[in-house]
Amino acid sequence: KTYPRTGSLIGYASREKITEVCEKVMLVQRDNGDRTNRKHARLKYTVDDMTPEGFKAEVEKYLGYPLEPARQHPTFKTNVDTYGWVRDEEGFNHFTTFVENGRVEDTPELQFRAGFREIAKVMQGSKAEFRLTANQHILVANISDEQKPIIDKLLVKYKLDNLAFSGLRLSSAACVAFPTCGLAMAESERYLPVLVTKLESDTGRV
C-alpha cells in the first residue's frame, strides 16, 4: 500500500556539512530500503519502518557525529521555481530557465542543448555552474557581474530567456511514461504540452 507523507525534521546541518549529510542519508536508504517491493521502496517508507528517531540514529552512525538540533525553518508558500535573474547575498547572479518537462534537447523551435553548451564554455574556469531544480528546470548559477552580459546574450540567442508562459505551463511537469517507462499505461511527457495548450485555450491563459 502506498500513501502520502510529509517529511520528518530530524536535525540541522551547516552549509559545510550538508553534502556529507545528504550522502549518508542516501547510504542509509541504500542499505535499509526495501529492494523487494517497488511500491515500498521509497525513502519515506524506510523512515516509517525504522522510525524517524531510528533513521536519524543510523545517519549519525554513518556520519560519525551527531546532527545539530533542528532549527526554525522558513514557511514555503509555493513550490514553483523563481524564473529569471536573482542576485544572492554574495554578489553572484543566478538565472532559472524554463525547460519543459526537464527535456534538454535541440528542436526546430528551441535549441536548449546547444545553448547550454555555449553557456558552459563561458562558465569554464569560474565558480559558475548548472543546477537542477526540483521541478526539472535548470539554474544557471554563480554568474559574476562580468559574465552576466555574455550569458544574457546567449540566453536571448537560444531563446532560453523565454519566460512568457502561462502560470499553468510554468508549473507543469510530467514523468516520461511512454515509450520509456515499463510501468506506463499512457502518454505523459510527450502529451502534456499539447494538453496544457488546450487548457490554456479554454481558460484564457491562466
Successive 10-residue mean pLDDT values, the chain, 206 residues: 92 96 98 95 97 98 97 84 95 96 90 96 97 95 98 96 90 91 90 94 75
What confidence score (pLDDT) does residue 83 get? 95
Whether 128 contacts 166, CB under 8 Å: no
What confidence score (pLDDT) does residue 74 get? 81
**131: which strand partners?**
139
Whether 28 contacts 72, CB under 8 Å: no
Whether 115 contacts 155, CB under 8 Å: yes
What confidence score (pLDDT) does residue 85 get? 97
* C-alpha to C-alpha distance for 90 and 3, rounded to whole angstroms: 41
3-state class (DSSP) for residue 26: helix
What confidence score (pLDDT) does residue 182 get? 85
Parallel, antiparallel or unpaired: strands 93-97 and 129-132: unpaired
Which class for 160: exposed (0-12), middle (13-18), buried (19 or more C-beta within 10 A)?
Answer: buried
Residue 28 has phi, psi (to 5 degrees) of: -65, -40
What confidence score (pLDDT) does residue 205 get? 60
Domains of the chain in start order, with CATH, are 1-73 (3.30.413.10), 84-164 (3.90.480.10), 169-203 (no CATH)
185: DSSP letter: -
Report which of 72, 70, 50 is spatially closest to residue 61, judged by C-alpha positions.
50
**96: which strand partners?**
84, 139
| pTM for this prediction | 0.77
Which cell is 118 given? 555555449
